[in-house]
Structure 1
Amino acid sequence: MNPLALSIVMSSLAIGTITTLSSHHWLLAWAGLEINTLAMIPLMTQHHHPRSVEASVKYFLVQAAASALILFSSINNASDTGEWSITNMSNPLSTTTLTIALSMKLGLAPFHFWLPEVLQGLNLMTGLILSTWQKIAPVALLLLTQNSLKPEILLTAGLISALTGGWGGLNQTHLRKILAFSSIAHLGWMVTVLTLSPKLAMLNFVIYLIMTTALFLALKQTSSTKIKTLSTSWQKSPVISSLSVLTLLSLGGLPPLSGFMPKWLIIQELTKQNINTMATIMTLSALLSLFFYLRLSYTASLTTHPGMSNSQTSYNTTSKQPSLLLATTISLSILLLPITPLLT
């Protein structure tokens, strides 16, 4: 993409997110979400491939429908209460439609069907933006309106998302689809605890952003898009490959890695609220996700591609991506568990 066009698109992404984060009026928040959506389309279609064009069309239609629902819920609430404030959502129909709209924006189950297909049609860097930056504004709206939303709907959506994310990723071979189902599962954990403890939900989301960024950058560094190409990553870069395995295990929630922290605290919060059945099902759903993370870890660390010799092969792995960001996110994905008392 032309550098000037890229700078305009990235600036629009930043402006759209900042507008939504800083707004108290529903129309401004809606405008920020629309700027975000429209700025994402050129990034998706920059390679002019049929898969990327298909992904951009699907993304646009889903986001447009979600934005229309947000506009409808805000207008309906304003006609009932006379206020456009984001934090004043008292109309039951408005809160329900808003929850559905934000679930569509985030790709939460049962409105998740677009996310794996769209992410599969993108390159890794655009997929990184879709999986991280594009979720900040909808999550901010969820946090702002969590006092008005119905806990039953959020708990149900979170539970279905955690199960769908774990179950859907089991038979996938494309890494971007696996990461899409991983996103669905992690956001399901966040939504489950949203009304019980917004601070925990925010912690879970931040750690999800860190771990997902680290894994996408590591996959970009080793040019891995399918499970079978992971078996060549050790010959390309042993250090990044071994750290990627730890990041995958952190995404799975294994101690003593950072990803264990939010799952541990969320299950503890659910048991404190006497929601023991849901805590048990959420724990079992984490085992489903852990299966495909272990599958990826095994492929990356303990298998060798049939076309490779036993000796280490020299590759030209020169990358223009910032190595400092990769090193920082991988370190945070692995080493944050000891500071848990400071974050709770």
Structure 2
Amino acid sequence: MNPWVMFVLIASLGLGTTITFASSHWLLAWMGLEINTLAIIPLMAQQHHPRAVEATTKYFLTQAAAAALMLFAATSNAWTLGEWHIQHLSNPLTTTVIMIALGMKIGLAPTHLWLPEVLQGLDLTTGLILSTWQKLAPMTLIYQLGPNVNPNILVLIGLLSALIGGWGGLNQTQLRKILAYSSIAHMGWMMIVLKYCPELMLLNLMVYILMTSTAFITLKTVSATSINSLATMWTKTPTMVTIAMLTMLSLGGLPPLTGFMPKWMILQELTKQDLPTTATIMALAALLSLFFYLRLCYNMTLTSGPNTNNNKTPWRLTTTVVTPLPLVATLSLMLLPLTPAAMALLT
């Protein structure tokens, strides 16, 4: 792609997200989301491959439907109350419809079915943008919408997303689909605590972005897209495989890695709110996710692929490491000792 075109698209992504961040008006927020969507469409279709075009079409239709639903609900609210302000929503039906529309944009259950298929059709760089940057603007709106949403709806969405994200990833062999179901599960953890402690949702979002960025950049560096390709990497790039393995365990929430921190604090908050059953179900859902992360680690470290190795030979591998990788890898693996500082900031 032409560098100038790439610059315009990346700048448009930043502009759309910034507009949504700065907006207190539903029309302006909708406009920012639309700029965001239209900016990433050419990036998704740049491979000129039928799979990429299919993924781009699915993504566009889903995002357009979610944006139309959100605009319809916001217009209905303005018609009823004469108010376009984001936090002035008194109609429960309007609030629920906008919550469903924003959930569709980020891939929350039960409107999650598009995410694994779309992510599977993209390259790892565009998948990284879709899994991290594209979630910032809708999550900002969900954060502002949180106090007005029925807590039972948020708990139901959170439980469904965590269970489906764990269950759906069990039989996957493609790494991008596994990371898509991981995204669904993590979004569920954020939704379940949104009503009771919104700051914990922001902490979980920050940690999720760090861990997902590390996973995608590592897989991009070793050119791995399936479990079989990981199984042959141990003898070639042991350092990168070690980082990938620890990052997967951190995504699963295994102590003493960074990913344990938000799960621990969310379970503690649910217990404080007298929701022991919900906390138990979420912990069991985390075990489902941890199982397929452990399966990845097993394939990376304890097995070698039984089939022919079609990967690049070691002397053809580039030795350059993507610049942000050391920073995001360190943060996604070693932030657990800072938990008391995070708790102090949240209280």
* TM, length-normalised to structure 1: 0.96
Q: Structure 2 CA distance, aligned partners of 1:301 and 1:139? A: 36
- Find the counterpart in structure 2 of residue 340 from structure 1: 339
Q: More deviation in 146-155 or 184-193? A: 146-155
Q: Structure 2 CA distance, aligned partners of 1:20 and 1:314? A: 45
1:60 partner amino acid:
F
Q: Deviations for 1:138-179, whole angstroms, at most 9, x for unmatched residues?
A: 000011111111111111000000000000000000000000
- Find the counterpart in structure 1 of residue 191 from structure 2: 191
Per the TM alignment, residue 43 of structure 1 is displaced from its structure 2 partner at its CA by: 0.6
Q: Is the 8 A contact 1:222 1:236 kept in 2?
A: no
- Find the counterpart in structure 2 of residue 47 from structure 1: 47
Gaps of 5+ in 2: none
Gaps of 5+ in 1: none
- Find the counterpart in structure 2 of residue 32 from structure 1: 32
- Find the counterpart in structure 1 of residue 114 from structure 2: 114
1:160 aligns with 2:152: no
Per the TM alignment, residue 91 of structure 1 is displaced from its structure 2 partner at its CA by: 1.3
Per the TM alignment, residue 255 of structure 1 is displaced from its structure 2 partner at its CA by: 0.4
Q: Structure 1 CA distance, aligned partners of 2:53 and 2:325? A: 29
Q: Structure 2 CA distance, aligned partners of 1:188 and 1:249? A: 18
Instruction: Please state whether the residue corresponding to 2:41 is helix, strand or coil.
Output: helix
Per the TM alignment, residue 319 of structure 1 is displaced from its structure 2 partner at its CA by: 6.0
Indicate the percent of aligned positions where both proteins have the same amino acid.
58
Per the TM alignment, residue 314 of structure 1 is displaced from its structure 2 partner at its CA by: 3.2
2:12 partner amino acid:
S
Q: Structure 1 CA distance, aligned partners of 2:306 and 2:26? A: 56
- Find the counterpart in structure 2 of residue 67 from structure 1: 67
Instruction: Please state whether the residue corresponding to 1:191 is helix, strand or coil.
Output: helix
Q: Structure 2 CA distance, aligned partners of 1:315 and 1:207? A: 35
Q: Structure 1 CA distance, aligned partners of 2:147 and 2:319? A: 45
Aligned residue pair count = 340
Q: Is the 8 A contact 2:214 2:328 kept in 1?
A: yes
- Find the counterpart in structure 2 of residue 263 from structure 1: 263
- Find the counterpart in structure 1 of residue 283 from structure 2: 283
Instruction: Please state whether the residue corresponding to 2:316 is helix, strand or coil.
Output: coil
- Find the counterpart in structure 2 of residue 16 from structure 1: 16
1:251 aligns with 2:262: no
Q: Is the 8 A contact 1:221 1:317 kept in 2?
A: no
- Find the counterpart in structure 2 of residue 210 from structure 1: 210
Q: Is the 8 A contact 2:221 2:322 kept in 1?
A: no
Q: Deviations for 1:44-98, whole angstroms, at most 9, x for unmatched residues?
A: 1101100000001100010001001110111111122211111111111210101
Per the TM alignment, residue 232 of structure 1 is displaced from its structure 2 partner at its CA by: 1.8
Per the TM alignment, residue 307 of structure 1 is displaced from its structure 2 partner at its CA by: 6.3
1:292 aligns with 2:292: yes
- 1:85-104 aligned at under 5 Å gives the runs 85-104=85-104
Instruction: Please state whether the residue corresponding to 1:236 is helix, strand or coil.
Output: coil
- Find the counterpart in structure 2 of residue 330 from structure 1: 329
Q: Is the 8 A contact 2:217 2:322 kept in 1?
A: no
- Find the counterpart in structure 2 of residue 144 from structure 1: 144
2:236 partner amino acid:
K
Q: Structure 2 CA distance, aligned partners of 1:235 and 1:33? A: 44
Q: Structure 2 CA distance, aligned partners of 1:265 and 1:244? A: 25
Q: Deviations for 1:286-316, whole angstroms, at most 9, x for unmatched residues?
A: 010001000001111222234689xxx7343
Q: Structure 1 CA distance, aligned partners of 2:180 and 2:319? A: 24
Q: Structure 1 CA distance, aligned partners of 2:258 and 2:335? A: 5
Aligned-pair Cα RMSD in Å:
1.3
Instruction: Give the direction of change, closer, same or farther, for the CA distance of 1:65–1:92 in structure 2 (3 Å limit).
Output: same
1:5 partner amino acid:
V
Q: Structure 2 CA distance, aligned partners of 1:316 and 1:60? A: 37
Q: Structure 1 CA distance, aligned partners of 2:195 and 2:321? A: 38
